[in-house]
Structures are given as C-alpha cells and as structure tokens.
Amino acid sequence: MFERALALDPHSIEAQSLLARTLMSRVLDGVSASAAADIARAEELAGQALAASPRYALAHYARGGGLRAQNRYQEAIPEYETAIALDRNFVGALVGIAQCKVYAGSIDEAIPLVEQAIRISPRDPVIYWWYQQIGKVHLLQSRINEAILWLEKARSATPAHPGICAELASAYALSGEIERAVAELAEARRLSRDDRYSNLAQLRAARYWGVLEVRALFEATYFAGLRLAGMPEE
C-alpha cells in the first residue's frame, strides 16, 4: 500500500518515510528475503524524505532503523534522538534508543527509556516488545525473577512470539524450573520461521549479539539458560 501511495505521489515524504520504516522493520524482525536490498531501499527513501524535509521526525526514525538493521547502533542513536527532539512523544524512537544502548554496551540506560515509553503509551499495540526489552535486560544482568515477570507479561500480550518463549526458557532454566524451560524452548522452536533454536551454534549465527562485553553477558545468562533447558551446542 505504501508503494501504491508513492506511485501516486513520488514526492510524498510521508509515503517515503513509512515505506522506509516498513522495509527496515522487515529486516529487524528477521522476515526479509532480501535484507541488503531492503536496507538499501530504506536508506534511499529516508534520505529523499530528509532532503525535502530535514525536520520530519518519521524520516529520522526510519533512518535510525536502517542503521540499527546494519548493527550501527552508535550511529542510529542520534537519529532517534533527533526524532524525539522533533516529537517528544515518539515512543518508537525511545525504545529504539534503548535497543541500541543494550547492544552498544550502555545496558544500564535501557530500562528507563522503555519505562518512559510505557508511561507515554500504556496501551500501545507493540507494548509486548517493550516488556520483552525490559525482561531481556533483567536477564542479562542476572535478575532472573524480574526477567521472568516481564517476559511473562510480554508473552501474555502476544503469545505466539518465539523470541519471548526462548528468553523465558532461559530464565526458567536459570531459576531451576527445568520442566517449564523445556516446554518454552519447544514452543520457541514450533513458532520460529527458521531453525535458529535447534542448537546454540545456529542461534549465535542468526544475529548480532552486541559488543564484546554484551556478548559475554548473553553467554553467561541467555545461552547458559538455554543450555540448561536442553539446547545442544550443535
């Protein structure tokens, strides 16, 4: 539909920005069949929108997403910050910054940003993702009970999410609830579009896990819990 809108009005900064946002979301969600092409198109569209309207918040948000999709987290943060400066209630940009902070190594700064988004939009359609981000940070920092609380809230908001199930599997295993962990891991595998949850090697290769210190946290918590839940190394 955004392609059709752009065909009708090739100079529409709204259509350009919305299409760019959708393309980068497809990459970030892991459902793109051509990630490199989607990223390139999203960057082109966001650039066109910003050339025409440098103070358009959605275009900065779309550019930030494109950078995040390339794991260029430090570069993405200023784009999200500009979007918020132009629209202080831009909750997606707040959570985008939080996500960048986690993988760039400033993990302690992430939860307050997500909590701010929740206060602004407590019934947001994607609030499950926000709950998941808080749960993930607690998991990485070995606050297992808090992680389980937030991840269960995320799953209640959207039950069919393999990533949430996998993180719950890890948290349950680390808390000693092995049967629940095994069940959640099985559900993650059932829901996943690929075989990333079949073994630890596949999961490590499936995505970027952050700077070295953050990767170490994932190894010590998330991957360790999945190992306890029965995920093999290879």
- Percent above pLDDT 70 for the chain: 100
Give the pLDDT confidence score for residue 193 in this predicted structure. 84
Place of tokens 């350009």: 16
DSSP 107: G
**pLDDT at 36 (0 to 100):** 93
Q: Where are the domains of the chain?
A: 1-86, 122-234
Spatial separation of the C-alpha atoms in residues 164 and 168, rounded to whole Å: 6
pLDDT of residue 161: 92
Say yes or no to pLDDT of 30 above 90: no
What pLDDT sits at residue 4? 97
R_g (Cα) of the chain, nearest Å: 18
**Domain 1-86 CATH assignment equals 1.25.40.10:** yes
76 and 64 in contact (C-beta within 8 Å)?
A: yes
pLDDT band at 31 (very low <50, low <70, confident <90, very high): confident
pLDDT of res. 11: 96
pLDDT at site 29: 79
Q: Are 157 and 140 in contact (CB under 8 A)?
A: no
Residue 223 has pLDDT above 80, yes or no: yes
The model's pLDDT over 69-111, given as tens digits with 9 standing for 90+, comes to 999 999 999 999 999 999 999 999 999 999 999 999 999 999 9
User: pLDDT for 125-157, tens place per residue?
Assistant: 999 999 999 999 999 999 999 999 999 999 999
How many whole angstroms separate alpha carbon 38 and alpha carbon 218? Answer: 28
Residue 28's pLDDT band (cuts 50, 70, 90)? confident
Output the average pLDDT for the chain: 96
| Centroid of chain to Cα 210 | 12
b/e per residue 34-46 (b: at least 16 CB within 10 A): ebeebbebbbebb
pLDDT at 198: 97
pLDDT at residue 136 in the model = 98
Residue 201 Cα distances to 38, 150, 207, 230, 234, angstroms: 26, 27, 11, 14, 5
Q: Do domains 1-86 and 122-234 have the same CATH topology?
A: yes
pLDDT bin (cut points 50, 70, 90) of residue 179 is very high
User: What are 160's two structure tokens?
Assistant: 């069919």
Query: The domain 122-234: what is its CATH number?
Result: 1.25.40.10
Model confidence at 213: pLDDT above 90: yes
Nearest partner of 154 among 114, 104, 189, 194, judged by Cα: 114
